[in-house]
Amino acid sequence: MLDPVGVGGLPWRTGLAAELLTLHPTAIRGNASEIIALAGLGGDTRGVDSADEAAAAVPAALALLEHADAVSASGPVDYLIGRDRDGAITGVRIAGGSAMLPRVTSTGCSLGGLVAAYLAVAPTPLIGLAAAHTHVAVAAEIAEENSTGPGSFAVAYLDALYTVDAGTLRARARIEPLDLPK
């Protein structure tokens, strides 16, 4: 799993990420600006923060499928692209989460850790990515319901990551198919 933190905004990270692409990671997960920059299509990265909307990263994600089996761009709505079991390129949008996520450090890193864990057990990389993004979105929604600010959100988010179960994920997931450009 490649999480190209700071790509596009930090030259040495951009170079390292380009080298790592040659190793064909199973999945790539980043914010929209990182995915766009990693694909060499520009991107407006501000350190580790994104100035691009995740939907704008779909062409970049499609281009990155040359190097990985699945790619996701996170934002208020996450966009995921990959291959299904038959090898056809497909995509999904995952809504949910919380506006508090970018206000707390390491939430993207926690998503990366979950992606790696789900990839180990999922039947396809895209399913692993979708499971991890859904887990984070649902946990963040639960955390927001149980917090009053960034500090209490951080604790509630960790608790929700730990306690969310399959039934809660099924009940609260907001996953839609993505119409990909032809």
pLDDT of 154 higher than 80? yes
The answer to whether residue 50 scores a pLDDT higher than 80 is no
Domain-located, residue 5:
no
What would the mean pLDDT of 162-181 be, rounded to a whole number?
94
Supply the range of the domain harboring residue 85. 11-177
Average pLDDT over residues 79-103: 93
Q: In the chain, how many domains are there?
A: 1
Q: Is 2 within the bounds of a domain?
A: no
35 is a domain residue: yes
Q: What is the CATH number of the domain that holds 22?
A: 3.40.1190.20
In the predicted structure, residue 48 carries a pLDDT above the cut 50: no
What pLDDT, on the 0 to 100 scale, is given for residue 181?
Answer: 73
pLDDT score of 63 more than 80: yes
Q: How far is 31 from 9, CA to CA, in rounded Å?
A: 12
**Non-local CB neighbours of 37 within 8 Å, separated by 6+ positions:** 4, 7, 8, 9, 14, 43, 45
pLDDT-derived band at 12 (thresholds 50, 70, 90) equals confident
